[in-house]
């Protein structure tokens, strides 16, 4: 990463809102940098002697292909003005992951990306690429249905992250296209207006654009406010604001705590260790009211932190939190956690 990339400039809506002294409700993905920055972050994490370096490097190749796909995607059908207004009025997402009629463009991009991934794929991934090649369009659509509705039965876990990569590109493209077609004003969103294209959903724990769960939270410094928390959508990459004091699963405010990898070793009379815990760039935010947790990436402490990449690189934190009985709220389509129910018998019995 070049030295010139070390400072993140404020986006248009951040500038508008900081001028108005307000926190924008939505932070849009940026077509030119979203997957490119993730790719760089994954390579950075892999280069640090990470135990999962090979996996992170291939995920970087996945993100690189996603970046190229997002740049070349053409026009796709979008919701009508009336549908956007109705969704905003009803407090539901206008591009719902579960039943939006997907355009075939996502499959075209998937098949192109499979060809690109084949050049660098480790031996263990080639079988999954072959399996996608053998899939009919209907089979790909039914795998997409499983992924987007959270149904693990019938889902091929080996091909799922690759199919999900194409769905992420398609949904990110949808959100950006709706935004472009409707000339969304950053000021509208700073004011939390219900104007189309995107309003607020009745359920603040879900993405207001597509209704998916977040991968993780990311904090940003906006204007004079430090550590504003946004939830990063696992599918369309939009980030929506949620007050720091609220649990992102049950939205209660009472019993939030933070856990870090370091906290396992920290002792109460070791001030240095405790300071490191409090200042850790990545924490698990746990809630004793509902028993769930979501990782929080502090973009104000590590400007390169990426919700998807850093989530993949901190699986040991998930293991640590799982020991306390907490359940993961975050969804990372690049690495699906099995259902809490027992996995199917490999013998098929
Ligand atoms: Zn979304
Ligand atoms: Zn909760």
Each residue of 72-87: pLDDT tens digit?
Answer: 999 999 999 999 989 9
Ligand 2 centre distance from Cα of residue 235 (Å): 22
pLDDT of residue 263: 66
pLDDT higher than 60, residue 4: no
Residues forming beta bridges with residue 233, ordered by sequence position: 214
| 147 falls within a domain | yes
Ligand 1 centre distance from Cα of residue 25 (Å): 14
Lowest mean pLDDT among 62-66, 213-217, 343-347: 343-347
Lowest mean pLDDT among 53-67, 79-93, 186-200, 218-232: 186-200
pLDDT higher than 80, residue 51: yes
User: Which residues, chain by chain, have CB under 5 Å from ion ligand 1?
Assistant: 207, 209-210, 212, 233, 235-236, 238
pLDDT of residue 340: 38
Give dist(CA 290, CA 215) in Å, integer.
18
| 19 falls within a domain | no
Lowest mean pLDDT among 11-25, 154-168, 294-308, 310-324: 11-25
pLDDT of residue 338: 58
Lowest mean pLDDT among 90-94, 157-161, 201-205, 267-271: 267-271
Quickly state the pLDDT bin for 261 (edges 50, 70, 90). confident
**C-alpha neighbours within 13 Å on the C-beta side of residue 168:** 30
| Among the bound ligands, the one closest to the CA of 174 | 1
Averaged pLDDT, 16-40: 81
| 173 falls within a domain | yes
| 245 falls within a domain | no
pLDDT higher than 70, residue 268: no
| Among the bound ligands, the one closest to the CA of 246 | 2
Cis peptide bond upstream of 195, omega within 30: no
pLDDT higher than 60, residue 223: yes
Ligand 1 centre distance from Cα of residue 54 (Å): 29
Ligand 1 centre distance from Cα of residue 88 (Å): 15
Our count of domains for the chain comes to 1
pLDDT higher than 90, residue 198: no
| 208 falls within a domain | no
| 307 falls within a domain | no
The count of other CB atoms within 10 Å of the CB of residue 132 is 22
pLDDT higher than 80, residue 159: yes
High-pLDDT (> 90) share of the chain, %: 64
| Among the bound ligands, the one closest to the CA of 211 | 1
pLDDT higher than 90, residue 209: yes
| 205 falls within a domain | no
Averaged pLDDT, 298-317: 93
Asked if 161 and 336 count as a contact pair (C-beta separation under 8 A), the reply is: yes
Which helix (H) or strand (E) segment holds residue 318: the answer is helix 315-322
CATH code for position 184? 3.90.1670.10
Ligand 2 centre distance from Cα of residue 252 (Å): 6
Quickly state the pLDDT bin for 110 (edges 50, 70, 90). very high
| Structural domain span for residue 52 | 31-190
| 196 falls within a domain | no
Phi and psi angles of residue 179, each rounded to the nearest 5 degrees, phi first = -60, -45
Ligand 1 centre distance from Cα of residue 296 (Å): 18
Ligand 1 centre distance from Cα of residue 217 (Å): 13
């Amino acid at each position: 990463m070049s030295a010139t990339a070390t400072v993140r400039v404020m986006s248009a809506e951040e500038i508008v809102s900081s001028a108005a002294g307000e926190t924008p409700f939505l932070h849009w993905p940026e077509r030119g940098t979203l997957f490119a920055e993730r790719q760089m972050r994954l390579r950075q994490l892999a280069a640090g002697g990470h135990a999962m370096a090979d996996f992170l490097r291939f995920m970087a190749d996945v993100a690189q292909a996603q970046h190229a796909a997002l740049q070349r995607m053409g026009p796709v059908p979008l919701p009508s003005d009336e549908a956007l207004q109705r969704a905003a009025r009803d407090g539901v997402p206008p591009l719902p992951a579960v039943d939006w009629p997907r355009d075939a463009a996502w499959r075209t991009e998937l098949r192109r990306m499979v060809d690109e991934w084949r050049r660098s794929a480790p031996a263990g991934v080639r079988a999954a690429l072959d399996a996608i090649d053998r899939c009919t369009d209907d089979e790909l659509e039914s795998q997409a249905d499983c992924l987007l509705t959270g149904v693990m039965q019938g889902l091929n876990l080996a091909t799922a992250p690759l199919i999900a990569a194409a769905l992420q590109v398609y949904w990110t493209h949808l959100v950006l296209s709706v935004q472009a077609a409707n000339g969304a004003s950053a000021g509208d969103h700073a004011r939390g207006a219900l104007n189309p294209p995107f309003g607020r959903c009745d359920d603040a724990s879900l993405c207001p654009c597509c209704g998916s769960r977040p991968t993780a939270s990311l904090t940003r410094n906006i204007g004079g406010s430090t550590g504003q928390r946004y939830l990063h959508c696992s599918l369309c990459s939009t980030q929506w604001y949620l007050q720091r004091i609220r649990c992102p699963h049950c939205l209660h405010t009472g019993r939030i705590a933070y856990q870090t990898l370091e906290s396992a070793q920290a002792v109460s009379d070791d001030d240095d260790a405790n300071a490191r815990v409090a200042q850790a760039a990545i924490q698990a935010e746990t809630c004793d009211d509902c028993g769930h947790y979501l990782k929080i990436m502090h973009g104000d402490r590590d400007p390169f932190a990426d919700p998807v990449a850093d989530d993949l690189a901190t699986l040991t934190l998930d293991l640590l939190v799982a020991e306390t009985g907490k359940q993961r709220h975050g969804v990372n389509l690049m690495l699906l956690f099995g259902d809490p129910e027992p996995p199917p018998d490999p013998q098929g019995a």
